[in-house]
């Protein structure tokens, strides 16, 4: 993935390559700093990433609720 600095226009590619093949693609999820000017580049989060995080959060919340129900002693209307 090529990251373009919005401040100076510098193009970075932080993918890990071995023998000219991409082994691991870098994803700018949390933000990064430009190696040319040193300013922060905003993260590139897609709607898909946000919905996956929200779905995972909801699944974990339901698991915790089920465990609490078992500890408390059944379904008391909660």
Q: What is the pLDDT of residues 12-47, one digit of tens each?
A: 877 777 787 767 777 777 788 888 898 988 887 766
39, 50: one domain: no
Separation of alpha carbons 48 and 55, rounded Å: 11
State residue 52's pLDDT score: 82
Pair (4, 29) in one structural domain: yes
Residues 40 and 3 in one domain: yes
Write down the pLDDT at residue 48: 74
Residue 57 shares a structural domain with residue 70: yes
| Structural domain containing residue 77 | 46-78
pLDDT at position 26, please? Answer: 75
**With bands split at pLDDT 50, 70 and 90, how would you rate the model's confidence at 78?**
low
Stated pTM of the model:
0.47
Same domain, 33 and 51: no
- Rounded mean pLDDT of the chain? 81
Q: Which backbone phi and psi does 48 adopt, to 5 degrees?
A: -60, -45
Same domain, 3 and 39: yes
Give yes or no for a contact between 15 and 27, defined as CB atoms under 8 angstroms apart: no
CA dist 5 and 2 (Å) reads: 10
Q: Are residues 33 and 67 in the same domain?
A: no
Residue 3 · residue 35 · CB < 8 Å: no
């Amino acid at each position: 993935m090529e990251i373009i600095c919005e401040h100076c226009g510098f193009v970075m590619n932080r993918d890990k390559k071995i023998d000219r093949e991409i082994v691991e693609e870098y994803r700018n999820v949390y933000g990064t700093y430009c190696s040319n000017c040193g300013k922060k580049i905003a993260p590139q989060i897609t709607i898909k990433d946000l919905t996956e995080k929200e779905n995972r959060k909801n699944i974990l919340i339901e698991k915790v609720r089920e465990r609490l129900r078992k500890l408390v002693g059944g379904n008391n209307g909660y």
